Amino acid sequence: MPVLLRPIFSIVLGGALCAASPVMPEVRLSADEMAVTPSLAPIVESVAPGVVSISVSSQESLESPVFTDPFFRQFFDFLPHDVPLERFVEASGSGVIVDAEAGLVLTNAHVLEYAKSITVHLSDGRDLRAEIRGIDEETDIAALSIDAENLEGLVIGRSRGLRVGDYVLAVGNPFGLEGTVTLGIVSALGRTGLGIEGYEDFIQVDAAINPGNSGGALVNLRGELVGINTAIAGPTGGNVGIGFAIPIDMAMQVALQLVENGRVERGQIGIMIQDLDPDLAEAFGVADTGGVLIADIVPGSPAEVAGLKPGDIVVAVDNDQVADAAELRLAVSFKQPGATVRLGLIREGRPQSMRVTLGRAGGSQVEANRGGPSVPATGRLDGATLRSVPVDEGSGGRRSGVLVEDLDAASPLSAAGVRPGDVIVEAGGKPVHSPQELDRRARQSDGPLILRIYRAGRAYFTTIG
């Protein structure tokens, strides 16, 4: 229902003051008091020249059968038949000048998708053509260069120093409204698992970030750049108080490689990893779920050369603790091939340290052999239909094991997350090559039985009680 606003007023009758409602005293501030009134204007004024608007022209192919099917094309004789049909698309986003002398601008990779021409609009009204220096879709960072004098860049801060509760400003070009500023706080740090990018370590903020803000600046109250705005979470595509920014520490590492090489080269250890859950932590004899479980080693990889083993738990990289698989991936991702890292491990309950020289891992696929006959399982494996496979397609042709052909929903294996098509290659830390061998291991184990399984080319651990 509509809200009725009642004004507060006074009536003068015959020289007497009659109050129809309480009279609010008039507030007047002195010049000194006004001078110390809190305002974010000085921060905004210092930041605004370094935040730019980016316009992108691109082309999209028209895939509709109305235009491509020969039957429909006969009705569109005015359209050329030997030229692919395309349409021009205009899009906009935001960017940040991070090096005024070099004319280096950072933005989001998705802002430049299919770009044919890029125009950067400066806060002083100048429009400049931009060239792409490099794009890294894994982190959604792109670097542009512009050629102009009297550019003003932002002061680069440190995102590592941010705390939940810190005030931040988001500056950008939402909905085409250039120079828009919103205020909020840091709601969370190190957000991962959102499926937005390949490498995620987001700053979550409640400052309003809307379409068009992508690539804009996230700054602290010192006017320092601490993040690049990149995404929002909401059912309508508009701001609902949940926005995400790429930490500037990560963005600048990417930018450095993009400027030098035009691409980002990432080192790899050559391991398949998974997070620890309480059951796995108990089974492997560790006190908590902090750390990353190595589920498999890629043959010929740096991990194999260094002596890493499935079942090792990585707890640190170069003395920095890693709590989960996402943190381990990030810790390694910006170290280039050839770099050496020191991994802190727990192996069979004992801490160890191991050096690994990073490289590029790879493996070959080998076609699977159908293997032995199907065998209904009993006991702790009841409800599963199993057969041996001498060479397993699920493990990239590297392992033999026991294929789970069929599985009842009530089976203990099903409760442990096993699915039909999975290949069990180890039980209790030892290889298994047949259903009979797997059944024997299950009967010999009194406590939780650790299984190592391949699924769609990836390995992971689970336990059955």
Residues labelled as active-site residues: 110, 140, 214
28 vs 446: CA distance, rounded Å: 80
The half-sphere exposure of 48 on its side-chain side, counting CA atoms within 13 A, is 14
In a 3-state reduction of DSSP, which class is residue 240?
coil
Other CB atoms within 10 Å distance of the CB of residue 114: 12
155 vs 176: CA distance, rounded Å: 25
29 vs 34: CA distance, rounded Å: 6
- Give me Rg for the CA atoms of the chain: 30
Number of helical H runs and strand E runs in the chain: 10, 29
259 vs 104: CA distance, rounded Å: 9
Distances (CA, A) of 180 to 47, 174, 177, 253, 418: 12, 7, 6, 27, 51
> Which residue reads 């698309």 in tokens?
89
136 vs 393: CA distance, rounded Å: 32
Which residue, among 398, 324, 327, has the nearest Cα to 361 in the 3D structure? Answer: 398
431 vs 426: CA distance, rounded Å: 4
Name residue 164's amino acid: V
Structure-derived torsion over alpha carbons of residues 374, 378, 380, 382, reported in degrees to the nearest 10: 70
Distances (CA, A) of 17 to 7, 21, 23, 28: 17, 12, 11, 22
Q: Report residue 2 as tokens.
A: 């509509």
